[in-house]
Amino acid sequence: MERKSKRRSHSREFKLEAVRLSNDPTKTIAEVARELNIRENDLHEWRHQVAKKGENVFPGAGSRGKNTSKNTDKEELIRLRKENARLREERDILKKSLIYFAKDQDKDSSL
């Protein structure tokens, strides 16, 4: 039976420290990767990202860069639309139940 490994995630601080260690001229990238128990390709990618983006690298939590008001406005709009849809559904259910019980009460009063 083949065992699948779980995807590992590393903190921003860990990645930055790994990049810093890999810049040490006395060690190779492969040595640093082995010491930290990470893939050499990951370390190369992290180095590339740090060189490209500087301090805005590795935002984490699925975010792309620092949280701007534009991003938070979009998130808020999505949240409000979901809430609005849920409230409409609840309202429709209450309307239907009101009609059902009103009909049931009319039957009781005619007896």
Which is higher by pLDDT, 59 or 20? 20
Q: Name residues whose C-beta falls within 8 Å of residue 22's C-beta, 6 or more positions apart in sequence.
A: 29, 32, 33, 43, 47
Residue 5 pLDDT: 65
Residue type, 111: L
Residue 35 pLDDT: 92
Each residue's pLDDT tens digit, 5-33: 677 888 889 999 999 999 999 999 999 99
What's the CATH number of domain 11-62, 1.20.120, 2.60.120, 1.20.1070, 1.10.10?
A: 1.10.10
Which is higher by pLDDT, 65 or 28? 28
Residue 13 CB coordination number (10 Å): 9
Residue 36 CB coordination number (10 Å): 16
- Whether the per-residue pLDDT at 71 is higher than 90: the answer is no
Q: Where are the domains of the chain?
A: 11-62, 67-111
- Whether the per-residue pLDDT at 61 is higher than 80: the answer is no
